[in-house]
Amino acid sequence: MHSVAIAADDLTGAMDTAQGFAARGYGTAVVADPSAVGRADAPDEPVVALNTDSRYADPSAARDAVASAVTAAPARVVFKKVDSTLRGNLVPEVEAALSASGADVALVAPAFPATGRTTEGGVHRVRGTPVAETEHADDPKGPTTSSLPDLFADAAHPVEAVPLAAVAAGSDRVAALVADAVAAADRPPILVCDATTADHLEAIAAAGSEFDALYVGSGGLAEQVRVPGAGPRTDSREEQSIDPGAPLAVVGSVNQTTLAQLARVPADAVVELDGAAALADADEAARAGSAAADRLRRGEAAVLTAATDRGDVERALAAGAERGLGDDAVRERVAGALASAAGVAVDEGSPSGLAATGGDVAVDVLRELGATGVRLTGRAVEDGVPVGRLLDGPAAGTPLVTKAGGFGSESTLVDALDLLGGE
């Protein structure tokens, strides 16, 4: 039995949440390919995260995926990772995890203060702006309201809010509220918690340790959850070291934060795959991959992307519409072309490390490389941007950095390339 099992709705979320445990020295692995969840035993580590890849699934499929993941990795503590901008099948997945885990209560705290995500008065914010007023609400599965209690209004469980004053009063106060809610409910209640600092998340996590609690949150809460029955590793120093070389990044997100990071990369390092052309010409992926490999063989970093601005996205969508393809189909095909290009670049250029931005593209890249899992090293480029190594496949052992589209400063991508180049 694992000490902690994490069920995450995408790969970058699985990675940055698992990092909350790896950074404290606990052996931590991620099952990256959702098709591998339940197909074989989870990696033999105290902490394991499973990518259900269910953020954009229909609610019924998302429920089934989460229930299967929780069942596939029995653990003393179950953590349901949710998006820190509240995208995805929030309520169905939490209810599925609550049922499959058999927990007595769900403690929901999606705040991640280190990356600008906070909750106060039930309102969830990204760098001070209510989340429903940010670009994250434009996502097909974006939040319809910034109110966390309102998002859970249709839950089939009792829902109560834990205000900031109670959280700030400490874990004993939170535990008392949890005890009252559990005693009053005829089924496991869902408590949605305010939090604006790491200390607040620590109080929530400490209170949860007194109950059979399902933790629901992101990387911020994961950093505070106690790990039962396991001690920190003592052999991770070698895994943290990275040999000098030329790294490869694959940028699949078009979030404005990611585009700003991409703009900081030297122009000659950017290898752009023509998304519109890739819809009709399979050779476009091979061309871009070989161009990236040429740089790698010269000892130079390469960054594969299908968009350096929103105009590239619109051109690809328009080309897809002319071919009778919907927007989702275009995005899937372009992501697949990027993954194919990355496979060519890795095969021909042998990069010193890989970076992937955007959960869907990251999964596609790992599948292209025949990798199903990642072991985290405990090292990170910055908060929310962890470093791991591929567990299997022909590129096993290769360092990997993943990043959600909305995470990081303008220098994050450049910093990741420097780290993966051994600097």
Q: How far is CA 314 from CA 151, 276, 310, 334, in A?
A: 31, 9, 6, 13
pLDDT at 35: 77
Strands 373-382 and 302-305: unpaired
Largest CA distance in the chain: 67
Residue 40 has pLDDT above 60, yes or no: no
Q: How far is CA 111 from CA 77, 153, 216, 230, in A?
A: 20, 19, 10, 26
Residue type, 376: L
Predicted confidence (pLDDT) per residue in 243-290, tens digit: 899 999 999 888 889 999 999 999 999 999 999 999 988 899 999 999
Residue 170 has pLDDT above 90, yes or no: yes
Answer positive or negative: Cα dihedral of 147, 149, 151, 154: negative
Map 184-250 to HEC letters: HCCCCCEEEECECCHHHHHHHHHHHCCCCEEEEECHHHHCCCCCCCCCCCCCCHHHHCCCCCCCEEE
pLDDT at 120: 98
Torsion of CA 208, 211, 215, 216, to 10 degrees: -90
Residue type, 19: Q
Predicted confidence (pLDDT) per residue in 112-163, tens digit: 999 999 999 999 999 999 999 999 998 889 999 999 999 999 999 999 999 9
Residues 6+ apart with CB under 8 A from 381: 387, 401, 403, 408, 412, 415, 416, 419
% of the chain surpassing 70 pLDDT: 97
Residues 6+ apart with CB under 8 A from 418: none
pLDDT at 235: 56
CB 7 within 8 A of CB 66: yes
pLDDT at 234: 56
pLDDT at 38: 60
pLDDT at 310: 86
For range 101-105, the mean pLDDT: 97
For range 72-99, the mean pLDDT: 96
How much is the mean pLDDT over the chain? 92
d(CA 196, CA 177): 19
The count of residues in the chain is: 423
CB 68 within 8 A of CB 56: no
pLDDT band of residue 168 (cuts 50, 70, 90) is very high
For range 100-114, the mean pLDDT: 97
Name which residue leads in pLDDT, 339 or 40: 339
Strands 190-193 and 159-162: parallel
pLDDT at 406: 82
Predicted confidence (pLDDT) per residue in 288-340, tens digit: 999 999 999 999 999 999 988 888 889 988 988 988 988 889 888 999 999 99
State pTM to two decimals.
0.90
In three-state secondary structure terms, 51 is strand
For range 341-354, the mean pLDDT: 96
Predicted confidence (pLDDT) per residue in 178-206, tens digit: 999 999 999 999 999 999 999 999 999 99
Predicted confidence (pLDDT) per residue in 227-239, tens digit: 987 777 655 555 6
pLDDT at 41: 59
Shortest CA distance to 6 belongs to which of 222, 155, 230, 236? Answer: 222
Shortest CA distance to 284 belongs to which of 274, 294, 292? Answer: 274
